[in-house]
Amino acid sequence: MAVQVPIPPHKTALEWLDKQGVKDPGRALAYAGGAPLRAKEHHAVSLTPVYERDGLEPLAEALQKTAVDHALRAFGLPAKYGTTSAVVAPEKAREWLAYARRMGEDRLLCRHPLNPRLFSGAMLAAKPKA
């Protein structure tokens, strides 16, 4: 039987992550959508082609979150996942939103029998120019 556990208050989660030795707990917590256990488990995802299927979904997730943050920055809003603080041209907003949507679709495909190296390369090649 699964027991649902609510996400703890932000301050409590930050303190716990700090005690766990997580570098930059605020950014890690933002990237994990406020879930401290997930923030602790997240490891840095390299934005390069991956060679094993297990690396595809984390890559697609990282690219999707990066695209959402770039789109938000293009609208003059703060980044939700803490992946960027860069200034993004407003005319790039639609392009970044389209890429985020594509990465959401690609996350579903990551579980299929694809060539991981080719698929991750295709995801990276579709990334808009900043």
Q: What's the pLDDT band for 46 if we cut at 50, 70, 90?
A: low
Q: What is the DSSP string of 63-116?
A: HHHHHHHHHHHHTT---SSSS------GGGHHHHHHHHHHHHHHHHHTTSS--H
Give me the percent of the chain exceeding a pLDDT of 70: 95
Could you tell me if 40 and 17 are in contact, meaning their C-beta atoms sit under 8 angstroms apart? Answer: yes
Q: Which amino acid is at 109?
A: L
Q: Which amino acid is at 121?
A: G
Give how many domains the chain has, as a whole number: 2
Answer yes or no: is pLDDT of 44 > 60: no
Answer yes or no: is pLDDT of 41 > 70: yes
47 in a structural domain: no
Tokens 């120019």 — which residue?
129
| pLDDT on residue 54 | 81
Range of the domain at 111: 53-125
Residues 110 and 76 in one domain: yes
Is 73 buried (19+), middle (13-18) or exposed (0-12) by CB count in 10 A? buried
Could you tell me if 110 and 64 are in contact, meaning their C-beta atoms sit under 8 angstroms apart? Answer: no
Answer yes or no: is pLDDT of 113 > 80: no
Residues 85 and 113 in one domain: yes
Residues 37 and 93 in one domain: no
Q: What's the pLDDT band for 121 if we cut at 50, 70, 90?
A: confident
